[in-house]
Amino acid sequence: MDAKVREASLDPVTLEVIRNALPAISNEMAVDLQRTSYNMIIYEIRDFCTALVLPNGDLVSQNVGGVSHFIADLGVMITDGMQRYGSAGFKPGDVIISNHQRVAGQHLNNIVIYMPYFLDGELLMFAIVRAHWIDVGGTSTGFGAGASVADPWLEGLQLDQLKIYKEGVVDEGLYRLISDNIRHPESSLGDMKSQMAACRLALRRLDELFERYGKTTVMAAIQQLFNETETKCRNVVEKFPDGVYEAESFLDDDGVKKGDPVRLHAKVTIKSGAMTIDLSGCSPERTAAVNSRTYAAPRIAYKALTAPLADVNEGSFRALDCIIPEGNIMMARHPMPMAAWSQILPLVVDTILAALAKAVPERVPAGHFGLMGGGGVFFGQNPKNKKRYVVMASGGGGWGGRPFGDGESASVNVCQGDVRRASVEEMELKSPVLIQEYGLRVGTAGPGKFRGGMGGRMHIKNLIEGRWNLHRPKRDNCPAWGLNGGIEGANGILTMKLKGETEFREANVTRHLVPADTEVIVNQGSGGGWGNPLERDPERVLWDVIEEVLTRDAAREQYGVVIGENLAIDLPATQSLRRTGAASPGARQ
């Protein structure tokens, strides 16, 4: 191709093509990863992200729907790798594997694989994939080791910027070390190869892009996209009233030190299109494994407020200043345990948004169930086929009512992007369990002009002996809040009933061995309501009664709506009840 063609000027059409080509590469990486991965957490649940990152750590593109709380922790992996090896230390064919908490700041199951991209011998960027392995040794099986793990060494293998492939040749010693220390080597190492395949695909697509447009044009386009994205975000924030806004929330405790609340505090400063999110008021780092080391929470909140549907790149955050001091629970120092790192992230995001509720009430919803976890993991070895299995039961929670509509029900939390729940059929097909019920927690949504979403409910029976992890981060003293007169939502709860027992009891267990026919119910939390429940459209209340998510008695008690046995609204009685204030909005069944 002629050099003049390859170095074409950055005209609007070329810029638009490159604007769409870069996210397309990340999206194609994601499809490749899903199609070839081994474990359900990746190909079904989608707990991963795929991206392109510059050597200085700037995010070029990330797949649509990638896990939101990975958004802040890809660039730091690359900059740390550059410090370790230097630009001359990377070669074509290198594959780096890493999950170390000193940099990654999350549980060890989240494995990063990245590969360098070279053009004419020059290192230009990296293709990177972070994905959740089903096991990394120690007590990591399933979602992770939980809050009670004492240190990272008990959690699992710590891999710190290691080259699993050097110039295309596998490091057999490192490969065997990993294989020998995990329970599901066929799955986890198969997933590693899928991550590598996704990265190799990205390198091929980058070759095609640079061959067509040339280095100067593509790299100039990337910087132009950063600048445009920054401007768009600033333009949104410029419409917010300048000021300092604060909010706080709590976990009842950290899961280890009972009765010692975990304080989460956000101070948001808005000035002339710039935003500063200060989390200095959050709890200091804990001996329990609820620590993290990430800017994910402020970035997620900022992205949601400024450009929730736009492609993400480094420009998305240039006008955001994050303040999280060292030693904070959100910026913990190694070797503080981080196995349950993501538990509180959604609640921190909610707290940041709550701080801005008075500044931009038309943009901020009521609180959602707002915790990562609250589900169950059942695992073991099937004696019939000698295969290991892992079942992840969650069910999804309720989101808060919004200024314009009800909250969504049984969904993932604000930090999880397009993460999905495993299907009942697949869980039952691949594991020795029976899903006896999978539905909504009727009557638990926070009442409001726009009600909260309902939490999910999953009733599961294990058909053989195995082990359960049941961890529920508790916010009983700080449930999903209502806004503008809305009422709080219900909290989640996990219960268990052993074979022969007649009643379910609340459960909080790790690697707990149970006999066959043990039953577990996972109840996820529900969202808070937005606005005065007595202002809710009676037709919406009637529809909830028809859909059997609200009883006629609850319609009267919570919303002041009188519905007859014929499922028709008694409008005079409703108007009288609401006018006299005889209803007790928020009184749940």
Clarify whether residues 9 and 117 are in a common domain. Answer: yes
Q: Are 207 and 4 in contact (CB under 8 A)?
A: no
Task: Provide the phi-psi class of 511: left if phi over 0, else alpha when psi is between -120 and 50, else beta.
Answer: left
β-bridge pairing 169-170 and 95-98: unpaired
What is the domain count for the chain?
3
Q: Is residue 52 part of a domain?
A: yes
Q: Is residue 512 part of a domain?
A: yes
The crossing angle, in degrees rounded to 10, of helices 185-213 and 172-180 is 140
Q: Give residues with Cβ within 8 angstroms of 552, minimum separation 6.
A: 545, 563, 565
β-bridge pairing 274-278 and 320-323: parallel
Choice between 387 and 298, residue whose per-residue pLDDT is larger: 298
Clarify whether residues 451 and 394 are in a common domain. Answer: yes
Clarify whether residues 475 and 575 are in a common domain. Answer: no
Among candidate residues 434, 429, 440, the one with its CA nearest the CA of residue 398: 440
pLDDT tens string 565-584 = 999 999 999 999 998 865 55
Among candidate residues 140, 181, 498, the one with its CA nearest the CA of residue 289: 140
pLDDT at position 66 is 76
Banded pLDDT at 3 (limits 50, 70, 90): very low
Burial class (CB in 10 A: 0-12, 13-18, 19+), 359: middle
Q: Are 142 and 123 in contact (CB under 8 A)?
A: no
Q: Is residue 274 part of a domain?
A: no
pLDDT at position 134 is 87
Q: Is residue 225 part of a domain?
A: yes
What tokens does 146 get?
Answer: 């939980």
Q: Are 149 and 136 in contact (CB under 8 A)?
A: no
Banded pLDDT at 9 (limits 50, 70, 90): low
Q: Residues 164-180: what's their mean pLDDT? A: 98
Tell the residue number behind the tokens 């999953």, with chain if given.
Answer: 458
pLDDT at position 320 is 97
- In total, the chain counts a number of residues equal to 589
Banded pLDDT at 1 (limits 50, 70, 90): very low
pLDDT at position 386 is 85
Q: Is residue 247 part of a domain?
A: no
Please, which residues bridge with residue 458 across strands?
438, 522
- At position 428, the amino acid (one-letter code) is E
Q: Are 96 and 81 in contact (CB under 8 A)?
A: yes
Q: Is residue 441 part of a domain?
A: yes
Clarify whether residues 66 and 193 are in a common domain. Answer: yes
Clarify whether residues 452 and 573 are in a common domain. Answer: no
Spatial separation of the C-alpha atoms in residues 458 and 441, rounded to whole Å: 9
Clarify whether residues 61 and 94 are in a common domain. Answer: yes
What tokens does 198 get?
Answer: 């996704």
pLDDT at position 553 over 80: yes
Clarify whether residues 546 and 505 are in a common domain. Answer: no
Spatial separation of the C-alpha atoms in residues 506 and 495, rounded to whole Å: 4
What tokens does 571 get?
Answer: 């409008």
- For residues 175, 179, 184, 188, the Cα torsion angle rounded to the nearest 10 degrees is -10
Spatial separation of the C-alpha atoms in residues 578 and 584, rounded to whole Å: 10
Clarify whether residues 526 and 545 are in a common domain. Answer: no
pLDDT at position 184 is 86
Q: What's the Cα-to-Cα distance from 301 to each of 68, 142, 403, rounded to whole Å?
A: 10, 28, 17
Q: Is residue 50 part of a domain?
A: yes
Clarify whether residues 71 and 108 are in a common domain. Answer: yes
- At position 441, the amino acid (one-letter code) is R
pLDDT at position 520 over 90: yes
- Determine the Cα angle at 407 with ends 307 and 315, to 5°: 10
Please, which residues bridge with residue 267 across strands?
246, 278
Spatial separation of the C-alpha atoms in residues 126 and 117, rounded to whole Å: 5
Tell the residue number behind the tokens 């999350």, with chain if given.
Answer: 106
Residue-wise over 225-249: b if at least 16 C-beta within 10 A, else e? bbeebbeebbebbeebeeeebebeb
Q: Are 381 and 389 in contact (CB under 8 A)?
A: yes
Among candidate residues 377, 300, 423, the one with its CA nearest the CA of residue 49: 300
pLDDT at position 84 over 90: yes
- The residue among 212, 229, 246 that closes a domain is 229
Q: What percent of the chain has pLDDT over 70?
A: 97
H or E, element range at 172: helix 172-180
pLDDT at position 584 is 54
Among candidate residues 243, 269, 242, the one with its CA nearest the CA of residue 323: 269
Clarify whether residues 465 and 570 are in a common domain. Answer: no
pLDDT at position 48 over 90: yes
What tokens does 120 get?
Answer: 């004419």
pLDDT tens string 363-397 = 999 999 998 877 888 999 899 888 888 888 777 89
pLDDT at position 570 is 95
pLDDT at position 6 is 45
Alpha helices in 60-135 (DSSP H): 75-85
- At position 337, the amino acid (one-letter code) is P
Banded pLDDT at 71 (limits 50, 70, 90): confident
pLDDT at position 585 is 55
pLDDT at position 4 over 70: no
Q: Is residue 206 part of a domain?
A: yes
Spatial separation of the C-alpha atoms in residues 348 and 247, rounded to whole Å: 10
pLDDT at position 443 over 80: yes
pLDDT at position 147 is 81
Among candidate residues 502, 489, 505, 500, the one with its CA nearest the CA of residue 456: 489
Q: Where are the beta strands (DSSP E) in 253-387?
A: 262-271, 274-278, 320-323, 376-381
pLDDT at position 41 is 84
End-to-end CA distance of the chain: 72
Q: Residues 531-559: what's their mean pLDDT? A: 95
H or E, element range at 219: helix 215-237
Clarify whether residues 71 and 151 are in a common domain. Answer: yes
Q: Which of 433-442, 465-474, 579-588 ranks highest by mean pLDDT?
A: 433-442
Q: Give residues with Cβ within 8 angstroms of 447, minimum separation 6.
A: 482, 486, 487, 529, 533, 536, 558, 559, 585, 586, 588
Clarify whether residues 569 and 495 are in a common domain. Answer: no
H or E, element range at 155: helix 152-155
Q: Residues 84-88: what's their mean pLDDT? A: 96
- The residue among 203, 229, 255 that closes a domain is 229
- At position 261, the amino acid (one-letter code) is P
Burial class (CB in 10 A: 0-12, 13-18, 19+), 432: buried
pLDDT at position 420 is 78
Spatial separation of the C-alpha atoms in residues 583 and 577, rounded to whole Å: 6
Q: Residues 308-337: what's their mean pLDDT? A: 96
Mean pLDDT rounded to a whole number for the chain: 92
- The residue among 205, 229, 253 that closes a domain is 229
For residue 196, the enclosing domain spans 3-229
